[in-house]
A and B are shown apart, each in its own frame.
Chain A
Amino acid sequence: MTPHPAPPPAGQAPPVLRVAGLHVRFRMRGGRHVEAVTDAAFELGSGSCLALVGESGCGKSVLASALLGLLPGNAETAGSALLADGLDLLAADERTLARTVRGRRVGLVPQSPAAHLTPVRTVRSQLQETVRELLAPKGGKARLRAAGESAAARAAFPADHLDHHPHELSGGLAQRAATALALVGDAPLLLADEPTTGLDRDLVDRTVDELRAHTRDAGRALLMITHDLAAARRVADTVAVMYAGRIVEIAPADAFFGAPGPRHPYARGLLDALPERAFTPIPGAPPELGDLPPGCAFAARCALADATCRAVRPPLTEGVACHRA
């Protein structure tokens, strides 16, 4: 196991993750570029949760892949993503990432766990493999078996289902199995990529409550990527809204979902689209990431937009990137 960072001086805990100026772009055929993530910056402290929300194709999952070094070969990154111990996830080589980061310092709770688990092996065998790799417990098979069972128990995965294969699990249990795998290495940072897609409301609530408990009570940090605003509201301390590859608003969850509410017109539109609110869609469609307008990417859909919005890209100042906020 990687040693935990030395305890920081009182009141000065370094953030578990500090992302600054993160850019990701993909080289395409014909010398074109697609700007998938532009200038993302946020900090994530121990015991806290940041929900990254936005519609599909806005770059949220690319950001997560960048943090784990899982981008395809045609991706170029810039900026930094520092863990508390000073390791820059964007600069680390594959060997470092594979041996000391994935599973050990950053745990991933994947989208669609049923597809993430190995279909031909039981949950027990997958947990034991992960325990063996990450913790290398001393002692024989019995020890390993016990360690696997306690890993399952931590994610509230029922022991009598350990010998099932993934296809025999319900959506909720498959999610817990995947969470159990992510927790084995006791990583200080958990990354959850759409962990609730396709689950019903009760399961969503239970899943995010469990993630919340693994975060707050255990002093971890959680970066949750989701398009489910209800789940984000339930779990997050901070909400970051992404649009066309940029973080356009970052705000405390209470203020965002309650009063005074979101400040960016796109974020307001997203909330107004909820069935429990106005249930009205935002007009139009998001721009292509390969063909972004010079000004604000949301201007074409925004009722407040003026000539400045169309010409000048607004910087993120005081938590919102909008000329009119």
Chain B
Amino acid sequence: MLELQGITAGYDPRRPVVRDAHLALRPGEALGLVGPSGCGKSTLARVAALLHRPDRGTVVLGGRTVTGFRHRAPRSLRTEVGVVFQQPRLSADPRLRLRDLIAEPLRATGRRRGAQEAVAEPAERVGLGPDLLARRPHEVSDGQLQRACLARALVLRPRWLVCDEMTAMLDASTTAALVAVVEEYRRETGAGLLAVGHDPVLLGRWCDRTVHWGDIADS
């Protein structure tokens, strides 16, 4: 289970962005969270991805309460969650070739050896060939870069995926392709998914169930 209990979070303790949010995700479940622009859903997604310390409330991952937050949770826990953000341009180091971009989580966790082989599997999964893997972000389109970001999220084979508006910048075909990649990965590994977005049609088609922001948090 990935559980968020009574989460209050934000960037200024006096003005929290998220108030008293509750969310529970069963293993292998795909949950869609729908909300309007600016409601705080991205902040909650960051909390779920263990990248943001909540002001109040607890995060429970696989029965264990997450402790030891500094700004983020300890790395050993964070590697269980793969994250894809909305804007690939802002979440990719412009100096890295796509191959190194995808390998970055391996490098950061001290698994540099064998990284090149480990990159091949997720890269193929998202449909990036050797030519594209050798390029830097400015040489590829948004869709291709988002494919690399998804491969990066999968390279550590996480048990949970958090996709925050993963497809908002993408055309219809690339959207469908990336969703298919996520679903194939989940079928193989039984990973759970929290997909955050503002398109109820997309999330309804993609996820087992969807919840609305107003139902899980005080607004």
Chain A residues in the interface with B (C-beta under 8 A): 54-57, 170-172, 197-203, 227, 229, 269-271, 273-276, 279-282, 285
Contacts and interface: CB of A to CB of B under 8 A. Distances in A.
Interface in B37-93: 37-38, 86
Please classify the interface of chain A as helix (H, G, I), strand (E, B), loop, or mixed, using the class held by over half of its residues: loop
A55 B143 contact: yes
A55 B169 contact: no
Please classify the interface of chain B as helix (H, G, I), strand (E, B), loop, or mixed, using the class held by over half of its residues: helix
Contacts of B174: 55-56, 281
Nearest to B132: A285
Given A55-B143, A201-B198, A279-B176, A227 B170 contact: yes
Contacts of B206: 275
Contacts of A199: 37
B141 A56 contact: yes
A273 B127 contact: no
Nearest to B147: A285
A41 B168 CA distance: 29
A56 B172 contact: no
Interface in B90-124: none
Contacts of B127: 285
Interface of B: 36-38, 86, 127, 141-144, 165, 168-177, 179-180, 198-202, 204-206
Contact of A171 (B38, B142, B176, B199): B38
Contact of A56 (B142, B168, B198): B142
Nearest to B168: A198
A200 B168 CA distance: 9
Contacts of B143: 55-57
B201 A275 contact: yes
B166 to A, nearest CB: 13
Contact of B171 (A55, A170, A279): A55
A196 to B, nearest CB: 10
A271 B172 CA distance: 7
Nearest to B198: A200
B171 A269 contact: no
A273 B173 contact: yes
